[in-house]
Structure 1
Amino acid sequence: MAAPQPLKLTKRAVDSLHVSSGDTVVWDRDLPGFGVRVYASGRKVWCVQVRGPSGKPRRRTLGRFGEVTPEKARRDAVIAIDRIKRGLSPDPPLEAPEPTVLDLAERYMEFHVRVNCKPRTVASFESLVRVHIVPGLGHIRLSELERSHISGLHHRLRMTPFQANLVVKVLSGMFRLAEAWEMIPPGRDLCRSVRPYREKPRERFLSSDEYGRLGDALDKAEMDGSVYLPAIHAIRLLLLTGCRKDEIRTLKWDDIDRSSGMMHLRDGKTGLRHVPLAPAVLAVLNEIPRIDGNPWVIAGNGPEDHLGTGSLDYHWQKIRSLAKLEKVRLHDLRHSYASRALALGEGLPMIGELLGHRKVETTA
């Protein structure tokens, strides 16, 4: 993205600044080195950046927009820039504002979640932070945060217990890292005493009749062309393998080893695992044409793309409607696979291995 053009940093100008993701600095038109850093969360911080006598850039924050006026920020910037250019520390000392839950949330997302988590987890956490955590707690200083704030937010989300519990889990992860970053004193995880809500089981298993209707719907959609063919192939593979949706969407032809009779899933939720190529699975794979230059088994519309998750969900709704299946998610095909395997005499450890579960309790 091109750098923003310098502006006269008045209150009206800074009020109008927004970014859709990450952060960026908008520099002042009249005072070189004076700017405001704008975050996607809406937070804006005055700053200076100039080179000292050594030629090395030095940076300093001057406080938050809204707490420090443009006039004061500009006066402080003139002093700081002058002293930095003379090789001195900015004077007077500029104390960093006391961190808030918003500060912690931004740091947690930038330095932990976006670095260590998969894209879908990043998107989920960003949504929780943006929709629930920042509006409910973002303005509170970490030193003033109490258990009642956490339990109050949890209570306000009681009508969606899964969401409520997940918000508390994310907050708990934030506090653990806040300790490591010395933003809060040790042992200040305020989530420990929040009792999670009972979550309704979300498992749904297909009956034999529903399996039949689903198979008929897939055949009909393939014949009349009413559903995107790669989506039909993906659904059949989900039915026959018990794999996760993203494991099938991102399956590459190189992951299929016909000589050993295995699919090697290198980006599974629990790491590398191997899924047997049953005859029915091979039959589906044999029907899928390979597209020159496209490495994906389930190809998308682009010449080098795989099918998007939104597109697969859309076509699943069409198939589900054709099969007259009520309240069945794609993930329920995975549950149904495990249920049928258990009914056929497979033990929980074997089923867990097929599904990529590290713990038997996850399969049970």
Structure 2
Amino acid sequence: MATSTPPRIKLTKRAVDALASTDKDQVIFDAELSGFGLKITPSGRKVFLVQYRYPPGRAGRIRRYTIGAYGESLTPDQARGIAVQVKGKLAAGIDPVSERDAVLADAAKAAQEKKRMHATSVDAVATAFIERHAKPRLRSWREYERMLRGYVLPEWGTRPITEIQRSDVTALLDAIEERRSAALADHVLAIIRKMFNWHAARDERFHSPLVSGMARTSITVRARDRVLSDHELRALWAALQQIPYPFGPFVQLLLLTAQRRDEVAHMRWSEIDGDLWTIPRERYKNGRANTVPLTEQVQSILASLPRSGDYVFTTTGRAPISGFSKAKAAIDRACGVTGWRLHDLRRTARSLMSRTGVSSEIAERVLGHAMTGVAGVYDRHGYVSEKRDALQKLAAQIGRIVA
């Protein structure tokens, strides 16, 4: 039986529009350009193609080069032009399908390599470090994120982390030290070191380029030992009594409770039960809840404060206070004491407790420091009464000084 040859018509827009689908695929070839055709699927989709043999001749395998689907972005005339180019490559001894497959394979390989490079970029590692390590474990994760996005990622973000060399770190720290300070450079270095060590523990191919001795300041210079003198405490306390809510009472509580700035700033009324303030583990530095006994002096201050929401110290009723730098500058002007930070009040409170005979172990527990060794593992006693006694001695000592 003789086989029927596929129909041939000139593939114009009018002709293509008039062609209807059937219950099976059909191919209509162009009457003028050999091999140029249109495939129509049962769903009505129309796709231009070029059919040819490769190698040329009857012994060659029949192959089809897909040009694209008919539509607004591909007209019959445009498809015909592409078909002419395809046949030109065939005439030059090039298999168009193999060439296209090679191009697509190269593109896929390049895309895979780009994806791999992005997965190991400093930006990707930093994002994973914040999400998987810093957020679940560190109360100060926002500071880590701010430092990385402010100083590290603008310089290294798109680079693979394996390409970061010691000289890159040195150049980055040099720039930070020149523009800002050596202390800030060391702060950024500490965060980079933690991120590099975290990534090295997850990827055996990465080796941190950091070595000891890269810090810009010595340990003794970095360690702060500022403790306010009795004279400075008197001047400060007198000023705080004149500074209105929220910052006057806020700073008083920093000193009387010996807790960290953000822990007091985020203090909630719902965390207070009688004379006990329990700071939840979610926002405590060592990841454990800390119960702080409230002395009569602290309770008296709290009783005088307005209530506009759950936050004890707030200006909006919806969020805790902020703007510490501006408030601190106003306090400095009011009291005349300079060269100190809010965190120095915590160190001052610790020193005052020692002056009143509070043991080092109990003073450290008041500060919420994690205990090391066997005591840190097995001792689960809350030490509430001991901490209450220590804070009462602290309040009495402050009272004697400021009086």
Question: What is the DSSP-based 3-state SS (H/G/I as helix, E as strand, rest coil) of the residue aligned with 2:292?
Answer: strand
Distance change >3 Å, CA 150–CA 242, structure 1 → 2: same
Question: What is the DSSP-based 3-state SS (H/G/I as helix, E as strand, rest coil) of the residue aligned with 2:189?
Answer: helix
Instruction: Please list every run of 5 or more consecutive structure 1 residues that lacks an aligned counterpart in the other structure.
Output: 1-81, 223-228
Q: Could you tell me which residue of structure 1 aligns to residue 302 of structure 2?
A: 285
Q: Could you tell me which residue of structure 2 aligns to residue 242 of structure 1?
A: 258
Shift of 1:264: 0.5
Question: What is the DSSP-based 3-state SS (H/G/I as helix, E as strand, rest coil) of the residue aligned with 1:233?
Answer: helix
Q: Could you tell me which residue of structure 2 aligns to residue 305 of structure 1?
A: 319
| Mapping for residues 1-364 of structure 1, pairs under 5 Å | 92-94=108-110, 95-97=112-114, 104-114=121-131, 116-117=133-134, 121-138=140-157, 140-154=159-173, 157=176, 160-182=181-203, 185=205, 188-196=207-215, 197-199=217-219, 200=221, 201-222=223-244, 229-258=245-274, 261-266=275-280, 267-270=283-286, 271-291=288-308, 294-300=309-315, 302-307=316-321, 309-310=322-323, 312-359=324-371
Question: What is the DSSP-based 3-state SS (H/G/I as helix, E as strand, rest coil) of the residue aligned with 2:357?
Answer: coil
Shift of 1:219: 2.2
Distance change >3 Å, CA 298–CA 156, structure 1 → 2: closer
Number of aligned residues: 262
Shift of 1:174: 2.7
Structure number with larger C-alpha Rg: 2
Distance change >3 Å, CA 334–CA 216, structure 1 → 2: same
Shift of 1:352: 1.0
Shift of 1:237: 0.8
User: Pairwise CA RMSD of aligned residues?
Assistant: 3.4
1:121 maps to a residue whose letter is S
Q: Is the 8 A contact 1:240 1:281 kept in 2?
A: yes
1:204 maps to a residue whose letter is R
Q: Percent identity?
A: 23
Distance change >3 Å, CA 166–CA 213, structure 1 → 2: closer
Shift of 1:343: 1.2
What is the distance in 2 between the residues matched to 1:253 and 1:195? Answer: 45
Q: Deviations for 1:235-287, whole angstroms, at most 9, x for unmatched residues?
A: 111121111111111111121121xx321111221221111111111111111
Distance change >3 Å, CA 233–CA 264, structure 1 → 2: same
TM-score norm. by structure 1 comes to 0.62
Distance change >3 Å, CA 324–CA 257, structure 1 → 2: same
What is the distance in 2 between the residues matched to 1:296 and 1:165? Answer: 34
Q: Is the 8 A contact 1:253 1:295 kept in 2?
A: yes
Q: Deviations for 1:298-344, whole angstroms, at most 9, x for unmatched residues?
A: 122x233322x21x442232122111011121111111111111111
Q: Deviations for 1:180-222, whole angstroms, at most 9, x for unmatched residues?
A: 553x615x12213444330423332111111111121122334
2:302 maps to a residue whose letter is L
TM-score norm. by structure 2 comes to 0.56
Question: What is the DSSP-based 3-state SS (H/G/I as helix, E as strand, rest coil) of the residue aligned with 2:140?
Answer: helix
Distance change >3 Å, CA 120–CA 274, structure 1 → 2: closer
Name the stretch that deviates more: 108-117 or 233-242. 108-117
